Structure 1
């Protein structure tokens, strides 16, 4: 059978990538944008060590501790939804600049808060910024990156997130050990976050807009100029033609509420949305953020004293960064679907082993805390190597350009709602059923997630965003899976 020549919208029609200053420029852009991920990580991780001294100073109890922790997370759900929609209107770059300001304001409100209510207000502002960054940064990177290395470029944001969480854990341990006797030590823990917020604001002022967003708005020359800054000239021109061919095929992009109607009215777009929501929620229900938010409490429950738990809590943060770096190497080598299946298999196994170990080793056994710490570290390592980076990269790839901000916003909204429910409920869950019941429950959810991934997730690696969009529009992508 004769093979048809590649169409203008296919990956084969694009000249190969080449080296040069444009590759360094793309690297710089990804570093600056990833300050948004760093802020995301620090703001979600700092509560891990700041909560106890904050509670002591402000007189918080179990419920109000849960509210302080989860207020950021629930606000992040709405930040993700709004951030995606607003970025469709004003651009990815402009949205990131606005989010940098919001990060700074939220940080100052928390650090200077006179009481519980003001802390919650500050955490809500930070949550809106975190949610917006969780939506906009992956999309911005995916729309700038060439398809051959899109996984490793987009995945840098998740490495920045866990690096921010590790930085928060280290800051918590250092300040808790040296200044723990001061009433306001938790304020210093939060105030440090102002530095990356300023760096994001200043850096994004010098970064370009997404070329795909510019092309969708008919700003061809600006889009070409951006592409030429991060590609060789021949590749830039061919890639713009590739983007424009897909835009012509998709006709005029809808605006405002019409985007939502277009997303819900189309059979295949609804299915993509289901996959995006399912992957995001499944990733959260592994319980990873129970460790990132309440890791110190889990380690104290396992048998460590408070000081040792603060220090031991750094270990999951370190393995998260190491796993993220390994994941970047895998993203452009291993299929996304395969990566997700391996990840859920390993995390579910770790959950079961944690539950078994907590039953087999009774409280007071001297090896119990160290065995549970090792298993928690293994869980975080598996999670970070196979699930976290892959999830965020996958969500940034699957939605067509005309509804990309809205689509990923809805998926990440559901992701953050699951995150918030877990953040609010986990202290009570831990108190009610202990480590054993909590992690056996996570194992059961992991088994359901494996079924969902195997049945519904389609592959995206090695495909341009435009060719994926064409196959979604025709339904061919689902038939191929």
Structure 2
């Protein structure tokens, strides 16, 4: 691998007479390295937020779909045609139970352009983009992980509840934008908070626990939609928003703040109380202020290494050349993965397969995909995993576009393999990003990568709507080409396996210098 010192900023290296930077990672490992019930409770509570995040992300698969219809005039209407706009008025009608089961039938959008039909879903993803850029920095600066998670869940639940009372496609799209705006920070806060509440050994499994929560949320959608089949699409928003609001009370009363973030912010006493609440009982008596006296005070660090204001975390990422390089690469990879992860389920209505079963199969496929990622990430190199997963997703996405009787029978299988490998790639990428950046900018870095994922999803609804209008699966071909090209950039990233989490930018740069000079005995191969 190339010498990483080439990507360091122009800051002067630490001089011998300067106080050496001491990591908080080893201190926290001594406190919470042994996984206990208290940490499991916190990880499960935080990871539940992914459930509601997934519901709002994929709810449009059902609320914005084309409902069933039938011919009323057998002379002017031919059953089985896919082009309603080419049929004379009065020759067809929505099925009685489907009249208001979708925004398409309620507001007469069957002949609208792909841009209008994809507007609500695209508005949601645009809201995610803007919300992620604005809200993420608050988790690294003033609000912290826990408070931003609570605010985001509460606001997303309220906006989703109000969406059920939309009276036009434009109001509906605007409310979906608001919902996406507040939803943007949930997954990032949950992932970072859960992994910072446990020791290094359990970082990967706990991160995957959150992604399993997302799977449960995704899987609950076809069940909720099936129970409410033939009824108004508004009921889906009620069924998903009210539990999300109830969950907020659990976050407020039971979830603790990240001790790493508290220490970085200089709130040592609060960090000690948090560690006491989640550490094994035998460790709690020794957790006093004197125990952390060997940890360098934040006042000893260069101000550039601290998240001291609303914009500093993102500024740090752009000021350091190595950080910007890493962020650019993982963002490009995330864009490609996001197009597959968000686009594949939205395009299920274009396949000749039952929509409820198709969504259920996609949701079920996330379980083995996440478990496979959890296993792979503890054994293999992150770069190699991502390269293989994106390549496999590319092949099977392109296979979905094959025409003819033999191939169309396997379309659903091809779609499942492509989506499943894309899901695994998403899991690996998020854990990889956590390890590439230090504590002071970690939440912002993960958030920006998630925005790249969402940016890929933003284009998906329009591509799917265009494919629906042509009666083909061209969108799957686009998804495959994009993830394949973007995945190749993974080869440019450094390896992080077996490495410790750094807390400051200077500490990360010091580790890079030591690796380049051979002071680290073994490369950061993922062990």
Output the TM-score relative to the length of structure 2: 0.77
**Alignment coverage as a number of residue pairs:** 450
* Contact 2:430–2:446 (CA under 8 A) maintained in structure 1: no
For the 8 Å contact 2:25–2:501, the answer to whether it is kept is no
Question: Corresponding residue for 1:441?
Answer: 478
Q: Which has the higher contact order (CA 8 A, sep 6+)?
A: 1
Closer, same or farther in 2 for the Cα pair 1:122/1:377, shift >3 Å?
same
Give 1 or 2 for the bigger CA radius of gyration: 2
The answer as to whether partners of 1:9 and 1:242 remain within 8 angstroms in 2 is: no
Q: Which residue of 1 aligns with 2:8?
A: none
CA contact (8 A) 1:148 1:462 kept: no
User: What does residue range 56-455 of structure 1 map to in structure 2 within 5 Å?
Assistant: 56-60=105-109, 61=112, 62-87=114-139, 88-176=141-229, 180=230, 182=231, 184=232, 186-205=233-252, 206-232=254-280, 233=283, 241=292, 244-245=295-296, 250-252=301-303, 253=306, 254-285=308-339, 287-295=340-348, 297-299=349-351, 303-304=352-353, 308-355=354-401, 358-359=402-403, 362=404, 365=405, 369-384=408-423, 386-429=424-467, 431=469, 434-435=472-473, 437-454=474-491
Gaps of 5+ in 2: 1-20, 66-101, 517-522
Contact 1:156 1:328 in 2 (8 A): no
RMSD: 3.1
Q: Deviations over 1:143-192 (max 9, x none)?
A: 2221111011112222212221111122223322xxx1x4x2x1111111
Aligned position for 1:51 = 64
Name the CA distance, whole Å, in 2 between partners of 1:460 and 1:451: 18
Q: For the structure 1 residues 369 and 188, does the alpha-carbon distance in structure 2 shift closer, same or farther, using more than 3 Å as the test?
A: farther
- 1:4 matched residue in structure 2: none
Taking the aligned partners of 2:465 and 2:515, their CA distance within structure 1 comes to 40
Residue 3 of structure 1 is matched in structure 2 by none
Structure 2 residue matching 1:444: 3-state secondary structure: helix
SS where residue 447 of structure 1 aligns?
helix
Secondary structure (helix, strand or coil) at the match of 1:208 reads: coil
- Structure 2 vs 1, CA of residues 12 and 32 (structure 1 numbering), >3 Å: closer, same or farther? closer
Tell me how far 1:100 sits from its aligned partner. Answer: 1.8
* TM-score in terms of structure 1 length: 0.84
Q: How does 1:455-466 map to 2 (within 5 A)?
A: 456-466=492-502
5+ residue gaps, structure 1, are: 1-6
Question: d(CA) in 2 for partners of 1:263 and 1:172?
Answer: 42
In structure 2, how many angstroms separate the alpha carbons of the residues matched to 1:294 and 1:352? Answer: 14
